[in-house]
Amino acid sequence: MSEPNTRRKREHEQHIKHILDTAESIFAEHGFFRTTMRQIALKAEFALGTIYSYFGSKKQLYGKVIEAKVDELVALVTREMADVPSVQGQIEKFIQAKMTFLHNNLTFFRLYLAEVNVPQLDISNILPKKVREKYDSMLFNLRGVIGRGIEEGLFKPMDARVIVKAIDGLTNALALSWLGSAEAHLSPEADIRNVTELFLHGALISQESTKNLSNRKEINNGP
């Protein structure tokens, strides 16, 4: 590819990213219905016609913003999991990366969760099938890790699919709880530790630990 073509392609990609970033901030601030393409064009400092040349409609632009966020999440989780070889380490990285990402994007996901089920928006028509496929591929990768842990005897012989759904569901549920929390601005580290502990070690105290705890209580209480 010649230098002029390479430069034009690079500029095109930069323009797309700038428009998506601008649209994300405006959608998050005003909501889908109160946001206009003209607002986005003004803030992005592009002509309105240029915005429409990249994205045919506001719905299409909104869908691309969602797709970009999913791409960010999948890339982050995949990269973090690839950095550690052990099964337990990869599960820890999955939980940490996903929950941190959700916490850092609460404003936008509050908007998304509030509006995706509004009939007028009809999000199913603007989110490409590949968006869900990308997210599912991330979960499929986690399923493979858990399956390997079962084969190695690290986990009980359970259905890896169910375990993945449980991890995914709990991390999403905590993100939802942050939305209505006065402490949403605080670090999610405590929740991340608790979820990791729950899935890797369980909530029940072992019989040996329970016995030791009972013995300590008897000693402390005395005769």
pLDDT (tens digit per residue) in 154-172:
999 999 999 999 999 899 8
pLDDT at 21 over 50: yes
Q: What is the pLDDT of residues 180-202, one digit of tens each?
A: 666 656 678 999 999 999 988 88
The one-letter amino acid at 132: R
Average pLDDT for 88-103: 95
More confident residue, 85 or 212: 85
pLDDT for residue 1 = 54
pLDDT for residue 114 = 55
pLDDT for residue 67 = 87
pLDDT for residue 3 = 67
pLDDT at 209 over 50: no
Q: What is the pLDDT of residues 104-146, one digit of tens each?
A: 988 777 666 655 545 544 555 556 677 788 889 999 999 999 9
More confident residue, 203 or 2: 203
Distance CA 60, CA 71 (A): 16
Q: Which residues in the chain are classed under CATH 1.10.357.10?
A: 57-221
pLDDT for residue 49 = 96
pLDDT for residue 106 = 81
Q: Which CATH number fits domain 1-56: 1.10.3720.10, 1.10.10.60, 1.25.40.10, 2.60.120.10?
A: 1.10.10.60
Picking from 23, 42, 21, the residue whose alpha carbon sits closest to that of residue 31 is 23
pLDDT for residue 54 = 95
Q: Fold for domain 57-221?
A: Tetracycline Repressor; domain 2 (1.10.357)
Q: Which residues in the chain are classed under CATH 1.10.10.60?
A: 1-56
The pTM of the whole model exceeds 0.75: yes
More confident residue, 78 or 106: 78
Q: What is the pLDDT of residues 48-60, one digit of tens each?
A: 999 999 999 998 9
Average pLDDT for 93-109: 89
Distance CA 69, CA 193 (A): 24
Confidence of residue 210 (pLDDT cuts 50, 70, 90): very low
Residues 6+ away with beta carbon under 8 Å from 127: 63, 66, 67
